[in-house]
Chain A
Amino acid sequence: MSNAELAGVDEFSKEEWALVDEAIEKYKGKPGSLIPVLEEIQAVTGYLPESLQRHVARGLDVPLSQVYGVVTFYSFFTMKPRGKHRIRICLGTACHVRGAGRNVDQLKKSLGIDVGECTEDRKFGLEVVRCLGACGLAPVMVVDADTHKQVKEAKLDKILDGYRDEPDAS
């Protein structure tokens, strides 16, 4: 398929598809190029849905199973769209004993998504991490680059509101 035909597939623009093809072209025929290609493409598109994986497999002339195997193996790659704001809840030991699990449940409920998913408006994505090394601040929640300390369930909505209200740059 040409870029024009692909435009609109999985919401990627013609320009984004052009960048996708550029990444494939750059690495084509070089051994071990699958991971860097996927990395560059995900930087453009935010995630790697089936259509993109098929496109990469064809472009690099590697089996689709290999692309799929790599995408599912590395947690860095995702097949689901990521939210504009990335919420990471620490579930390390210290955070866990101080109620981080309840925070996760509360966020799942209020955002209406599971861990690893993003909200329908693509505003927020929810992830859990094992330890952020900030145990003294437990329970810790990181939104984008901001660390929030001693987060209680009741404070969650207010914290998120600060990101919700932010004018959409795009």
Chain B
Amino acid sequence: MVELTIDKKTVSVKEGTTILEAARRVDVFIPTLCAYEELNHTPGACRVCLVEVDRARSLVASCVYPVAQGMRVRTNTQRVRRARRAVVEFLLSDHPQDCNVCVKSGSCELQAIAELVGVRDVRVDRTDFSTHRIDDSSPALVRDTSKCINCLRCVAVCAEVQGVSLLTPEGRGFDSKVVPAMAADLADSACTYCGQCAVVCPTGAIVERDDTEKVWAALEDPKKHVVVQEAPAIRVQLGEEFGMEPGSLVTGKMIAALRRLGFDRVFDTNFSADLTIMEEGHELLKRVKEGGVLPMTTSCSPGWIKFIEHFYPQLLPNVSTCKSPQQMFGALAKTYYAEFAGIDPKDIFVVSIMPCTAKKYEASRPEMRDSGYRDVDVVLTTRELGRMIRQAGIDFVSLPDETFDAPMGRYTGAATIFGATGGVMEAALRTVYAVVTGEPMPDLNIQPVRGLEGVKEATLEVGELGEVKVAVAHGLANARKLMDQVADGTADYHFIEIMACPGGCVGGGGQPLPVTDEKRAKRAEALYRDDCEVQEFRQSHENPAIKQLYEKFLKEPLGHKSHELLHTHYTQRGV
């Protein structure tokens, strides 16, 4: 152990600890921009965390400087304050001064730090960005390198958490910037559109594509019948956009807000999540019984789908042919619901609210038009919906609780837990068990697949099927671990759930910011609360709206209509 003082507070830490870590231990605040605790990312790039160390010649970057016995650190001296201010001033000299019109205004870390350290003027010649090109080639994410401060968080999250390693610093010195490999446009790259880069980006350099104007336009168009669906995770995230505690379950307020925005029908992606379980559960049973390709993997996460198309194209036969709940909903909204309501499907406009940036891409895939129209017209992230609600002047927190519309608004606890890693697996096992044995699982809570561990495993005795072995991974670097096993034949699982984002959809690329593991866990807890305390039914096949859908429209799982509307195929992309 090493003992040192920071601003006269004595702290004892392990050798090798950085000054920044030690300072946090004794609640001494040091501003940082590039450091990101959850990624263990301290590149020492931004220099905002400078502190004064006795006998050191110059100020040191506390995020990379190791502690030493007897060291005396001061974090709040005139010299430190001046240096910090100068550092941020230099950062701003190479940053567009368009904060008022930037989508990150208010949630930008650079903006907050500039205020915090007291920059009141930028005296250095500013970089001219007039010829700067913005990469808006992708339907999901927009990159504006003029706003990049080279903190390299996106590079770290892309490589270490997602195992994609698409982003890299290019060049060196002042002209260095972060780009996809070969400086390709995102649309021409192996980007999965997971959006975790946008989640960690301290500025507006990587953001979701804002599609709110398209939705406003549809809502004002008298010819359009605008229906909306919300992913499971939205009901446990949206409150945070309005200052509510992480883990607030706001289903009723969410519905009320959407009605007040002018949506004609407020439906629920949870309805089609239950449907996904029906189709995917039966697909799994069929594969097991008929000797199909195993292990079967889930297909709900569009980032995961793009990932496997690029990096493990040989394993695409393992992926369930089921569309994601979002796309199942879209295909049914323009067929089943159109028929039900007697509305011409060409006039139906489907909006999705997703915790996800890759969903924007998924909806734009050319094969997602099985209704005869584009199945999902616009996808908004949780953050964009928050913006719309604020623009409309709706006081979200004091809204009353309202309920979903029929016939696509009912759901079970099995559907709602789709939003947390392991949830799809748990929901599928509940129904598969019941279908095989004719009775519900003795305990519907399958604890081993819950929680934030990267790769989870469980074995379950399922009637005549015998032992069913499953695995769950979230974060694509964890998915890689499982896929490497599947590829070399050492995985003896029947069913694998993969979610692209850490924590599953509760930690998606479109979630409220900033996020921590603690927040992800609280959001997931709220979903499990919805499952076991709020919902009447906890198994997808018990959903009365789903029973009605099969009775009146689809007839049977994996039937002709299902095949036409609810199943899909994938594209071998490579890298």
List the interface of chain A (C-beta within 8 A of B): 50, 53, 63-69, 72-73
List the interface of chain B (C-beta within 8 A of A): 159, 165-172, 180-183, 575
Residues of chain A contacted by B165 (CB below 8 angstroms): 63, 65-66
- CB pair A65–B166 under 8 Å, yes or no, is yes
Q: A63-B181, A69-B169, A69-B170 are in contact. List 20 more A-B contacts (CB 8 A).
A: A53-B182, A63-B159, A64-B181, A64-B182, A65-B159, A65-B167, A65-B168, A65-B180, A66-B165, A66-B168, A67-B181, A68-B168, A68-B170, A68-B181, A68-B182, A69-B168, A72-B171, A73-B169, A73-B171, A73-B172
Which of these, B159, B171, B172, B575, contacts A64 with CB under 8 Å? B575
What's the nearest-Cβ distance from chain B to residue A34, in Å? Answer: 12
Residues of chain A contacted by B171 (CB below 8 angstroms): 72-73
Closest to B158 in A: A65
- CB pair B172–A65 under 8 Å, yes or no, is no
Residues of chain B contacted by A72 (CB below 8 angstroms): 170-172
List 7 A-B pairs, minimum CB-CB distance, nearest first. A63-B165, A65-B168, A69-B168, A65-B181, A64-B181, A72-B170, A72-B171
What's the nearest-Cβ distance from chain B to residue A47, in Å? Answer: 15
Q: Is the interface of A mostly helix, strand, loop or mixed?
A: helix
Closest to B175 in A: A72
* A64 vs B166: C-alpha distance when bound (angstroms): 8
What's the nearest-Cβ distance from chain B to residue A89, in Å? Answer: 20
What's the nearest-Cβ distance from chain B to residue A128, in Å? Answer: 15
What are 10 A-B contacts with C-beta separation under 8 Å? A53-B182, A63-B181, A64-B181, A64-B575, A65-B166, A68-B170, A68-B181, A68-B182, A72-B170, A73-B171
What's the nearest-Cβ distance from chain A to residue B311, in Å? Answer: 11
* A64 vs B184: C-alpha distance when bound (angstroms): 11
What's the nearest-Cβ distance from chain A to residue B434, in Å? Answer: 44
What's the nearest-Cβ distance from chain B to residue A71, in Å? Answer: 9
What's the nearest-Cβ distance from chain A to residue B480, in Å? Answer: 12
Residues of chain B contacted by A63 (CB below 8 angstroms): 159, 165-166, 168, 181
What's the nearest-Cβ distance from chain B to residue A31, in Å? Answer: 16
* A69 vs B169: C-alpha distance when bound (angstroms): 6
What's the nearest-Cβ distance from chain A to residue B160, in Å? Answer: 12
Closest to A69 in B: B168
* A67 vs B172: C-alpha distance when bound (angstroms): 14
What's the nearest-Cβ distance from chain B to residue A60, in Å? Answer: 13
Closest to A53 in B: B182
Residues of chain B contacted by A65 (CB below 8 angstroms): 159, 165-168, 180-181
Closest to B172 in A: A73
Closest to A73 in B: B172
* A56 vs B168: C-alpha distance when bound (angstroms): 16
Question: Which of B168, B170, B183 has the most chain A CB atoms closer than 10 A to its own CB?
Answer: B168
* A65 vs B160: C-alpha distance when bound (angstroms): 13
Closest to B166 in A: A65
Closest to A79 in B: B182
Residues of chain B contacted by A68 (CB below 8 angstroms): 168, 170, 181-183
What's the nearest-Cβ distance from chain A to residue B175, in Å? Answer: 10
* A53 vs B170: C-alpha distance when bound (angstroms): 14
Residues of chain A contacted by B170 (CB below 8 angstroms): 68-69, 72
Question: Which of A64, A65, A66 has the most chain B CB atoms closer than 10 A to its own CB?
Answer: A65
Question: Which of A50, A64, A67 has the most chain B CB atoms closer than 10 A to its own CB?
Answer: A64
* A69 vs B183: C-alpha distance when bound (angstroms): 10
Residues of chain A contacted by B182 (CB below 8 angstroms): 50, 53, 64, 68
Residues of chain B contacted by A64 (CB below 8 angstroms): 181-182, 575
What's the nearest-Cβ distance from chain A to residue B197, in Å? Answer: 13
* A65 vs B163: C-alpha distance when bound (angstroms): 12
